[in-house]
Chain A
Amino acid sequence: MLSIRGLHVRLSRDGRANTVLDGVDLDLAPGEVVALVGESGSGKSTIGLALQGLLPAESQPEISGSIRLSKHEIVGAKAGELRQVRRDLIRSVPQDPMGALNPTMSIGRQMAETGLSPAEVLDWLGRVGLPDPRRIAADMPHRLSGGQRQRVLIAMSMAAKPRVLVADEPTTALDVTVQAQILTLLTDLAREQGTAILFITHDLAVAAELSNRVMVLFGGRVAELGETRAVVKAPAHPYAAGLLSARFDLSSDRGRQLSTLSTERGRTRIEGPHCNYVARCPISTPECSQRRPDLALREDGRRAACFNSDKVPDLLSSARAAPAWPEAIGGNANALELFRIHKSFAGRRKGLFGAKARTRVLSGVDLRIGLGECVALVGESGSGKSTLLRIAAGLVEQDEGDVSWFGGIPPQVVFQDAVAALTPWLTVGEQIGDRLRPLNVSKAEQQRRVAEALELVGIDPALSGALPAELSGGQCQRVTVARAVVVPPKLLLCDEPISAMDVSLAAQTLNLLGTLRRQMGMGMLFVTHDLAAARLIADRIAVLEKGQLVEIGEPDQIISDPQAPYTRTLVSAVPRLVTEEASA
């Protein structure tokens, strides 16, 4: 029904044109769900936009190849035909529901714009599980939660009974507990109406749960294409294998580090007559840099663009033997003690003279972290976990309660957005070196210790003269870690350090942090919404719900036997790789 042939897209950024998609072929049958998996920048979102003819005009897209849907050719179609295709045949669900609804138009009017009657609008709002459709239809978007908005957007798209639905990471911006419901809703509606879904995601497990087939993209080229079950069980491309082995879930081995198959990312050359994965590939041969591998059809019906795909199974089994964690040096003392922490924030004033409403964020939290121990703090957005970290860091004053650090030494923090945590106009070396200034060490000694710290986190010390903009995001994260440990702290606070990362980068960061805190005997507070990451990195997990610690204990105990109902929802919301579990 939908058929993409030789799709080639170039987009310009800052006046430079880059190849974003490089010869992509795909067929989609009615009712089929195909997952597009790849890291950010792999071109997966571009495919979705190209299908709808919505590539942003300001990036001057150059498209060649063919996209046929029913009897329409979308590449090079006239504006009128394209509009008709978008209205009737292909719809989408966006990544971020918060910005995707017009803030100055009521929900009902936005739904009715494509010709739905008022009764149909109400019916659809009900079908996507929104309570009180009449009220929602009259409401403005800013009064709805993210999950509710995503339901509205799904209703808006599915009401057109499209042939194809492009779902671009439709749940990444939502809380974990809502994610599963939205995915179920989406697939159920698609099944009822026979709509095919192109499901764009960076998470192989989510793809495995939902899709019939999976297409793994790297650098704008198809790395592997095949039955989801088969690909997840035994990938034939080293990139897919890397994605798979770096992935962690609730059944990964806690005793050892995560395996990361790709080497430190160099500059990936996307274009040219060679395999574009060669710079990161652990099994590359000279041939790979001379010829571009075809997306060859294998005897099991799958396609993989690799000359050496017979070596991939060995690669996977070698990955299982990742090194164990180093021995932790610790002690009996507490690195951090939080005692009955209370915190509330002032909200809007009610009326002209009314008191300001106060929102309780934390009510009576007790937490102790020993030297060398890691406690993971999990909870969804709004649970108060970030506030607790900021109080522990001394960045925010608590209303009541006590915070004490081992020896009174202030802790260090690793932030979520590493690029933003570095000052753009100061060199890496200056920023790390500023930690040493209070120690009054000599200039040479300072340089030596900066270089040492950089080496410790796996960065070439020659880069100490570089500005943050010259580094990749992953390198920036390592630099912030180096800054934190150049003078070893007794407590390291990590604020969602991996939430914006691709799997392989996340795995590398977890390995780095887990190793350092053991070697240096630091206490560590690891704030995350990802229960699987929490289980891997931490000795204990603390679950925070609405400002209260509802559960704390050993990771495996919490996961196998969650006590609080909230923990149970969290546990069940973690996507697992079903196939791998069966085979293991």
Chain B
Amino acid sequence: MAPYLIKRIAGLAAVLLVMSFIVFCLQSIIPADPARSLVGPSAPQETVERLREEMGLNDPLLVQYGHFVSRLVEGDLGTSIRTRQPIAEDVLRYGPATLELILAAMVLGTALAFILAFAQATLARSGAIRVGMLTLGSVPIFLTALLLAYFLWFKLGWFPGSGRIDIRRFSGPTGFFVLDGLLLGRPEVTLGALRHLFLPALALSVPIAISVGRSLSSALVDVMRQPYIRTARGKGLSAGHIFLRHGLRNAASAPLAMLGLQVGLMFGNLLIVERVFAWPGLGLYTVQSFATSDLPAILGVALVFGAFYILVTMLVEIAQSLADPRIAL
């Protein structure tokens, strides 16, 4: 276990370094002069030059990259052009909302994946379910979001269609409103937060449910054909017992990997879902940064997301090794 962690953390550092390098390269190929864009077009040329010197923009690229990395290590992601705030502060402000949404989508997606996989494994019309999953998997995320908003919010009014909460200027200790409501002893906050969470989380969870569900059902089909399942049946065990004790655990590895991969693919969808449901998180922040070509903000958020994804990949690997003793860490 210990050597595994060392190895993984080294890997994590390497991947982060590569990501930071990509981000750095992207930053330096912008045609506009960052110093000029900071002081405005009317400032005299020598002010710009002085600022360039101060910002280290005249140093060799490698030195600039070194500065960039050392600032990153200190938690400095640069300053947003749009909000004029340090990006790290913006991330801390909008991060909890996004994390809450991602976690809700993963829980919901996994639950739906189980339902789909079981339906496919047990129901007679498994072909219809397969086609249904294929169809659902072909829906562009903004169509899902728009349809959910149109029907469940606008037409039926079952769920709120925008924002995180109805109360104005609410803030809690953790920033996770569902949790904050419980901590502060205000169940109406938790309930309201959950109601607001439902539609965006559902929209985000559909792609997760489809791909994890597919992977789970094909893994289950494969596992249930293994000789050890025949051994278990030969012992006269009940079908439910065989499925839970012998089938599920052996089928866990591939769907877990797929869940991790989906987190990586989720970020694009996150931007859209937060945009459609006006969810005040990092996705919306990024979309707004697109509108104002706020590249430092976009890249800063990308770096944070990237680090988060690598962390998730690591957790997935640990979960896989817990499920299957043959996968040594």
- Interface positions of A (Cβ within 8 A of B): 52, 54, 56, 58, 79, 83-88, 91-92, 94, 96, 99-105, 113-114, 140, 142, 153, 156, 160, 351-352
Contact = CB atoms under 8 A, between A and B. Distances in A.
B232 interface: yes
Contact of A104 (B225, B230, B324): B324
Nearest to B232: A102
Nearest to B247: A102
Counting chain A CB atoms within 10 Å of each CB, the highest count among B236, B238, B249, B326 belongs to B236
Interface in B195-253: 225-228, 230-239, 241, 245-246, 249-250
Contacts of B326: 103-104, 140, 142
Nearest to B248: A104
Contacts of A88: 236
A99 B6 CA distance: 34
A54 B326 CA distance: 28
Contacts of A156: 231, 235
Chain B interface bracket (under 10, 10 to 19, 20 to 34, 35 or more) = 20 to 34
A143 to B, nearest CB: 9
Given A142-B326, A351-B3, A352-B6, A102 B228 contact: yes
Given A103-B324, A105-B245, A352-B7, A87 B235 contact: yes
B60 to A, nearest CB: 35
B323 interface: yes
B235 A86 contact: yes
Contact of B233 (A86, A96, A153, A160): A86
Given A94-B230, A94-B231, A102 B250 contact: yes
B325 interface: yes
A101 B234 contact: no
4 A-B pairs with least C-beta separation: A87-B236, A86-B236, A99-B227, A352-B3
Given A140-B325, A352-B3, A104 B236 contact: no
Nearest to B238: A83
A86 B246 CA distance: 18
Contacts of B7: 352
Interface string B112-154: 0000000000000000000000000000000000000000000
A114 B227 contact: no
Counting chain B CB atoms within 10 Å of each CB, the highest count among A104, A142, A160 belongs to A104
Contacts of A351: 3
Contacts of A91: 234-235
Given A86-B234, A105-B249, 12 more contacts: A52-B234, A54-B230, A83-B236, A83-B238, A87-B237, A88-B236, A91-B234, A100-B227, A103-B250, A103-B326, A113-B237, A114-B236
A94 B227 contact: yes
Contacts of A114: 235-237
Give the interface SS of chain A, mostly helix, strand, loop or mixed: loop
A85 B246 contact: no
Contacts of B241: 113
B227 A96 contact: yes
A102 B246 contact: yes
Contacts of B325: 103-104, 140, 142
B233 A104 contact: no
Given A94-B231, A140-B325, A352-B6, A104 B237 contact: no
Given A84-B236, A99-B228, A105 B3 contact: no
A252 to B, nearest CB: 35
A88 B236 CA distance: 8
B233 A54 contact: yes
Nearest to A353: B3
A124 B26 CA distance: 67
Contacts of B250: 102-104
A83 B237 contact: yes
Nearest to B2: A352
10 contacts: A52-B234, A56-B225, A83-B237, A99-B228, A100-B228, A102-B246, A104-B249, A113-B237, A113-B245, A140-B326
A102 to B, nearest CB: 4
A211 B237 CA distance: 30
A153 B235 CA distance: 11
A475 to B, nearest CB: 30
Nearest to A95: B227
Contacts of B230: 54, 94, 100
A356 to B, nearest CB: 15
Interface string B53-86: 0000000000000000000000000000000000
Given A86-B233, A352-B7, A103 B238 contact: no
A142 B235 CA distance: 21
Counting chain A CB atoms within 10 Å of each CB, the highest count among B227, B235, B238, B324 belongs to B235
Contacts of A79: 239
